[in-house]
Amino acid sequence: MKTIIFLNIILLSIVMNGQTSISRDNYYVEGDVVLLHNKFDISLENFTSGDSGENIIWDYSDMDFNHSSVIVDTLQFVNPVGTPFYPTFLRADYSAANLCYIRKTDEFDSGNNNYNYIYIDSDKLEFIGSWADNPSNERWEDHYVDPVKELDFPFTYQDTYVDTFDRFYSDQSSGIEHTVTGTVEVTADGFGTLVTPDGETLNDVVRIHRVENGVDTNSIGQSNPYSKNSFYWYSSTVKGAILSFEMASNDPNRIETANYEKLFLLGTPEFIDNSVVLFPNPTSSKINFYTRDLDISEVKIYNATGVQEMKVDIDESGSINIESLKPGVYLLKIRNMGGKFFIKKIIKN
């Protein structure tokens, strides 16, 4: 009997460690597409980052990501080989990267992409740098001479580490260059249950507290010390940081920006370059769309995660009747004859 009890204790320990540890499997791979919901409106003042410790319940079910002010960007994870800034570009060296995610902030502008280069293996996740590519506006070079370690693997509740970094970035449009040196301290400061903004309950969640301290010195002689506080929630059953908060620089207790990630299951988007106009949005009844691309082959509406197709009436004039849908956020997908498609958030009120 003692032997059986002892084995049960070992098994329980393994289960607990599995529930509260972050591994390589908890991050994205090539081919994944993520919808990143970015929220920064005044309603964030109603929330805090919550408590640290064991068996914490972080309930953000009332955090409204359905508001029209929420920005939805697309993150597409690809092999860095073949991307425009790999392996080197000007002074930036991204040759150590084995994964790249393209953050697309404007579906209508083929040049408005942010290429983020990372290195990831079974032991760690490192951020190497990024290029913001918008030829009609500005181009940002940003790379780490000494990459910054974002996560150790495996990472378990109460684990912590400190890493140094050496960063260079430059706004190509202004010519002002910056060098930044500093440290990041990363701690798994809590585990417990996360209730997501969609009301989903996840019971195997680790919260990561990241503190970055550095000095930013620019080429016109200015030197500015800074401190950044961020929080990230990871689950052993979900890829990526499900929810993250960036705290205000002058008040580490005030949330400045909240990000909510959703793995997108409709496939890798190839965006239609032609303009698509939706009106009115939000609406409670009918929404209309107009596109310069006349060869439209498919128009569908999905739930917010892109998993379930919703049954709605769509007529040839471009009018979609969404009266039957419950209030909330949905995704409109328009595909052209060439196979490219446009995805846009619509809101039913």
DSSP string, 246-280: EEETTEEEEEEEEEEEEEE-S-------S-EEEES
The CATH code that applies to domain 276-348 is: 2.60.40.1930
Assess whether pLDDT exceeds 60 at residue 12: no
CA 149 to chain centre: 17
Q: Which of 69-78, 216-225, 254-263 has the lowest mean pLDDT?
A: 69-78
pTM of the model: 0.74
Residue type, 132: A
Sign of CA dihedral 58, 205, 39, 129: positive
Q: Dmax of the chain from CA atoms?
A: 75
Please state, in angstroms and as integers, the Cα–Cα distance from residue 235 to each residue in 59, 79, 157, 239, following that order. 15, 25, 12, 7
Centre a 10 Å sphere on the Cβ of residue 205 and count the other Cβ atoms it contains: 26
- Amino acid identity for residue 137 in this structure: N
What does the pLDDT look like over 293-348, one tens digit per residue?
A: 557 778 888 877 676 788 888 776 678 888 888 888 788 887 777 666 677 778 88
| Residue 99 pLDDT exceeds 70 | yes
Secondary structure letter of residue 25 according to DSSP: G
Mean pLDDT value across residues 177-186:
96
* C-alpha span between 220 and 8 (Å, rounded): 64
Can you give the residue ranges of every domain in the chain? 21-263, 276-348
Q: 305 CB contacts (<8 Å, ≥6 apart)? A: 35, 262, 263, 264, 265
Q: What's the pLDDT band for 88 if we cut at 50, 70, 90?
A: very high
